[in-house]
Amino acid sequence: MTLSPTPRTQLRRKRDRQADDVRVLHAVLDEALLCHLGLVDDDGAPLVLPTMHARVGDVVYVHGSSGAASLARDREVCLTVTLLDGLVLARSVFSHSANYRSAVVRGRARRVTDPDEHERALEAVVEHLTPGQWDHARRPDRREAAATAVLALDLAEASVKVRQGPPGDPELVEQGDHRWAGVIPVRTVLGTPEPCPALPADVPVPEHVARWSVARP
């Protein structure tokens, strides 16, 4: 299955960096712990807010503040996710770059109001951030659910861009430029879980939390 970019998600430059495979889009959305949601405020100015998300099939659910959710309702949004994989140190300043995978999803966000879909979306976000955590934690009651805004955004209009590999100016080596060039890898890692100070001392770290900390990286 391939992405079908509309004119505005078709990259205008560096088209070789556009990955046509929807699996890459899904993988980027699934790996990222964080997304940035772009909105246009009442004065027509852009506003970009960090938040959490989860993908379920061809929909991405976004945990929104009530403010962001009201700004996003019935308006276009842009959800962008970026995984930084490396700093690309070339010979020439001009060829410096970054290795990354990024996804851009555009469209109208839908405020999730159906109670079942709302709960499934919250479950997806919690499970996305720490697999196994939904069954561990206390589920939201009706009041808590009502206070948690969730937006749904269809993946119909999405693009994904990937840059990997060494610096782009190897021809300079043949021209006698032997200064060092290469890539410094960048990774997001999870550390040792820190228990809440209010917790009784004899409560062990659950297996799903310990496993997650080890699994990433």
Binders of a copy of itself among 155-174, rule CB under 8 A?
A: 166-167, 170, 172-173
- Name, in order, each residue with C-beta under 8 angstroms of 151's C-beta and a sequence gap of 6 or more: 37, 61, 62, 64, 69, 72, 77, 109, 110, 111, 112
Nearer to a copy of itself, 21 or 34 (CB): 34
Q: Restricting to residues 169-208, name those near a copy of itself by CB under 8 A.
A: 170, 172-173, 177-200, 203-206
In the region spanning residues 44 to 73, those forming contacts with a copy of itself, defined by CB under 8 A, are 44-50, 52, 65-67
Asked whether 50 and 34 are in contact (CB, 8 A), the reply is yes
Q: Output the six-digit token pair for 16.
A: 């070789």
The CA-CA-CA angle for residues 62, 64, 65, to 5°, reads 170
Cβ proximity of 136 and 211 under 8 Å: no
- Is position 214 an interface residue for a copy of itself (rule: CB under 8 A)? no
102 binds a copy of itself (CB under 8 A): yes
Interior CA angle at 188 toward 187 and 193, to 5°? 140
175 CB contacts (<8 Å, ≥6 apart)?
A: none
Of 20-28, 54-62, 77-85, 110-118, the window that binds a copy of itself (rule: CB under 8 A) is 77-85
Q: Does 22 bind a copy of itself (CB under 8 A)?
A: no
The nearest distance, CB 22 to a copy of itself, in angstroms, is 20
Which one of 19-27, 53-61, 91-99, 110-118 is the stretch in contact with a copy of itself (CB under 8 A)?
A: 91-99
Binding mask 107-146 for a copy of itself (x = CB under 8 A): ---------------x---x--xx--xx-xxxxx---x--
